């Protein structure tokens, strides 16, 4: 067992949050394997004290990088030195750098590390060794070791935005009302005291830490209105009450440390250049709450524990997000948990504004980024909305060929995409009033008027002659035309969507009956695209249950395996 000697000068304090500081202890590097503090007494000295002191002097005092970046780099240095110790290599050597690269390549090859993670670890060590004055261009490979994996931020779809806002806004308003009605109670509450109660989506929920939760919900709403990124919003300061008029757009400059520049945060709504009234009401409430918590502080967002207020940190955002998922379970368009994230609100606003204006330079300026950064991270939009736009464009192009007029073509496309979605009972109640005898079809959708003009056309097409037999009771059964028919209604029921999904699989299976894929695409691609669009329009919970039913029970009895011969 070693006699422990601690060098306080090797402890570096770093600012890793808005007002959060964390210490990184370089004493760990004095021991083989860079052990955690609790295991130092069981570890052996590595006899590199001079080297460790040099690292602290060069890296710890460096002002080129932000404290948060350096904190991440130091953790990467811990991994690197631990690795070199395991190979008995000098960490400040070309041999160690080569072995480190090979180690990362092998981890990626085996699938135990993501490409972007490996790139980050390698880049960090390159930067640190470069700061120490070593020829990293010679030591590290000049070639790209890993394939480039772009991770653009995915925007929310319209449905996902509505889901989040219908959850976050009522929760913020309810908590704000309760906190301001009895402020001392909530200010001095213990962390586990459930003083607040909220009612939403038919359930009651007792809430602890109401003030912190309210500020966090306000943070998410602020990210929706401003398109700001996480750190920038958390650093926002209070604004003057006199500026909050309906004729003044509020903005302020905030330092973005990593980019070493100021960015402007403006209050507005996604897709608009004005300040809506509901945004101003939200700002008034947020400012009132912030002044209650800390009237003498310029900071805007706070967390509160046992009567003490401090700036809201990113760790609080994760905690409240997990609470939202646990108690309210918002679901995205793919049936997965829907997390509120500032970067996705930012991507949603920028993608929509870019769609409206086509001005990439202007959007980049609004975000405080370069056009290159905008192109790389904020222009992909939402895959669901992109698919809808492509569908609309395809219908418009089809209609141009039919109508020879762009305005008329757009109306045609709108009619094709305007699919009505109703629960079964509501569907029957609505269209029975018009004496149209609405009924469900064998593909899982509903028909408003199965005995109308379309039925007459179908009877003539099938050579059903009223001279030979009574055909008035025969409903339209032209199922391949349903998705181009104005009488179609999508039934928002699990059984019906299951049937519709089964019908789509039967159509897909008919590929085997075609001469080639091109022939199949010509015959059924338009139909399949319309079915997929219709399925995406139903409630995500209904769609998810129908998909689970299809996976567990197989196809609906009306569309069993092998029935694709009909097509």
Nearest C-alpha neighbor of 503 from the set 559, 551, 554: 559
Confidence of residue 361 (pLDDT cuts 50, 70, 90): low
Q: How far apart are CA 273 and CA 268, in angstroms?
A: 6
Q: 475 and 439 in contact (C-beta within 8 Å)?
A: yes
Alpha carbon of 21 to those of 24, 52, 68, 469: distances in Å? 10, 22, 10, 87
Nearest C-alpha neighbor of 491 from the set 434, 426, 550: 426
Q: 160 and 382 in contact (C-beta within 8 Å)?
A: yes
pLDDT of 406 above 90? no
β-bridge mates for residue 264, sequence order: 253
Confidence of residue 508 (pLDDT cuts 50, 70, 90): confident
Average model confidence (pLDDT) for the chain?
78
Instruction: Enter the DSSP assignment of 337.
Output: B
Q: How far apart are CA 62 and CA 64, in angstroms?
A: 6
Q: What is the pLDDT of residue 84?
A: 92
Q: What is the pLDDT of residue 260?
A: 47
The residues, any chain, with a CB within 8 Å of residue 503's CB and separated by 6 or more, are 443, 444, 479, 531, 556, 558, 559
Q: How far apart are CA 565 and CA 259, in angstroms?
A: 61
Q: How far apart are CA 29 and CA 47, in angstroms?
A: 10
Q: 209 and 191 in contact (C-beta within 8 Å)?
A: yes
Tell me the percentage of the chain whose pLDDT exceeds 90.
Answer: 13
Nearest C-alpha neighbor of 563 from the set 506, 481, 478: 506
Tokens linked to 544: 């998810």
Alpha carbon of 88 to those of 76, 91, 135: distances in Å? 18, 9, 21
Task: Summarize pLDDT for 329-359 with one digit per residue, the tens.
Answer: 888 877 788 999 988 888 887 777 666 666 5
Q: Higher-confidence residue: 181 or 567?
A: 181
Q: What is the pLDDT of residue 512?
A: 77
Q: What is the pLDDT of residue 170?
A: 92
Task: Summarize pLDDT for 480-492 with one digit per residue, the tens.
Answer: 888 878 888 888 8
Residues 59-85, mean pLDDT to the nearest whole number: 85
Q: 197 and 183 in contact (C-beta within 8 Å)?
A: no
pLDDT of 173 above 90? yes
**Strand, helix or coil for residue 88:** coil
Residues 220-248, mean pLDDT to the nearest whole number: 75
Q: Give me the DSSP letters along 211-231.
A: HHHHHHHHHHHHHHHH---HH
Helix (H) or strand (E) holding 133: none
Q: 78 and 35 in contact (C-beta within 8 Å)?
A: no
Phi-psi region of 540 (alpha: psi -120 to 50; beta: other; left: phi over 0): alpha
pLDDT of 70 above 90? no
Task: Summarize pLDDT for 438-463 with one digit per residue, the tens.
Answer: 888 888 888 888 887 777 776 676 65
**Angle CA 348–349–352, to nearest 5:** 85
Q: 287 and 244 in contact (C-beta within 8 Å)?
A: yes
Q: What is the pLDDT of residue 176?
A: 94
C-alpha of 130 from chain center: 36
Q: 146 and 119 in contact (C-beta within 8 Å)?
A: yes
Q: What is the pLDDT of residue 44?
A: 86
Tokens linked to 195: 């003083």
Burial of 404 (0-12, 13-18, 19+ CB in 10 A): exposed
The pTM score is 0.59
The residues, any chain, with a CB within 8 Å of residue 163's CB and separated by 6 or more, are 330, 331, 332, 338
Q: What is the pLDDT of residue 261?
A: 47
Q: 181 and 196 in contact (C-beta within 8 Å)?
A: no
């Amino acid at each position: 067992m070693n006699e422990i000697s601690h060098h306080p000068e090797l402890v570096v304090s770093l600012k890793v949050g808005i007002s959060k500081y964390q210490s990184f202890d370089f004493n760990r590097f004095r021991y083989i394997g860079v052990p955690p503090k609790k295991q130092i007494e069981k570890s052996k000295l590595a006899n590199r004290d001079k080297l460790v002191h040099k690292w602290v002097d060069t890296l710890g005092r460096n002002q080129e990088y932000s404290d948060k970046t350096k904190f991440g780099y130091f953790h990467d240095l811990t991994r690197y030195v631990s690795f070199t110790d395991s190979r008995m290599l000098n960490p400040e050597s070309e041999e160690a750098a080569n072995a480190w690269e090979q180690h990362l390549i092998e981890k990626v090859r085996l699938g135990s590390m993501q490409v972007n993670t490996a790139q980050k670890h390698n880049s960090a060590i390159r930067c640190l060794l470069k700061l120490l004055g070593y020829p990293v261009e010679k030591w590290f490979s000049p070639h790209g070791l890993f394939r480039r994996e772009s991770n653009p931020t995915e925007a929310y779809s319209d449905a996902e935005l509505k889901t989040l806002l219908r959850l976050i806004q009522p929760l913020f308003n309810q908590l704000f009302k309760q906190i301001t009605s009895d402020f001392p109670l909530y200010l001095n509450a213990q962390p586990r005291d459930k003083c607040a109660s909220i009612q939403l989506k038919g359930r009651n929920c007792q809430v602890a830490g109401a003030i912190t939760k309210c500020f966090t919900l306000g943070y998410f709403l602020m990210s929706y209105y401003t398109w700001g990124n996480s750190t920038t919003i958390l650093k926002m300061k209070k604004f003057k009450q006199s500026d909050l008029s309906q004729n003044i757009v509020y903005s302020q400059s905030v330092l973005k440390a990593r980019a070493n520049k100021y960015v402007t945060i403006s209050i507005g709504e996604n897709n608009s250049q004005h300040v809506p009234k509901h945004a101003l009401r939200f700002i008034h409430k947020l400012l009132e709450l912030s002044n209650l918590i800390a009237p003498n502080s310029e900071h805007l967002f706070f967390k509160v524990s046992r009567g003490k207020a401090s700036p809201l940190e990113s760790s609080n955002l994760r905690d409240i997000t997990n609470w939202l998922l646990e108690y309210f379970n918002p679901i995205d368009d793919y049936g997965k948990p829907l997390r509120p994230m500032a970067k996705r609100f930012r991507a949603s606003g920028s993608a929509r504004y870019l769609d409206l204006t086509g001005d990439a330079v202007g959007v980049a300026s609004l975000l405080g980024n370069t056009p290159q950064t905008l192109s790389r991270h904020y222009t992909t939009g939402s895959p669901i909305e992109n698919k809808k736009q492509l569908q609309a464009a395809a219908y418009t192009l089809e209609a141009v060929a039919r109508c020879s007029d762009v305005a008329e073509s757009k109306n045609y496309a709108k009619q094709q995409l305007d699919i009505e979605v109703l629960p079964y009972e509501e569907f029957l109640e609505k269209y029975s009033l018009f004496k149209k005898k609405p009924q469900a079809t064998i593909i899982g959708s509903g028909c408003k008027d199965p005995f109308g003009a379309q039925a007459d056309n179908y009877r003539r097409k099938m050579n059903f002659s009223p001279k030979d037999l009574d055909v008035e009771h025969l409903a339209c059964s032209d199922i391949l035309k349903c998705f181009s028919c104005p009488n179609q209604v999508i039934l928002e029921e699990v059984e019906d969507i299951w049937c519709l999904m089964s019908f789509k699989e039967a159509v897909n299976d008919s590929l085997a009956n075609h001469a080639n894929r091109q022939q199949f695409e010509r015959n059924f691609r338009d139909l399949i695209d319309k079915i997929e669009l219709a399925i995406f329009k139903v409630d995500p919970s209904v769609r998810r249950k129908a998909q689970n039913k299809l996976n567990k029970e197989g196809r609906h009895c009306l569309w069993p395996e092998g029935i694709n011969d009909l097509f």
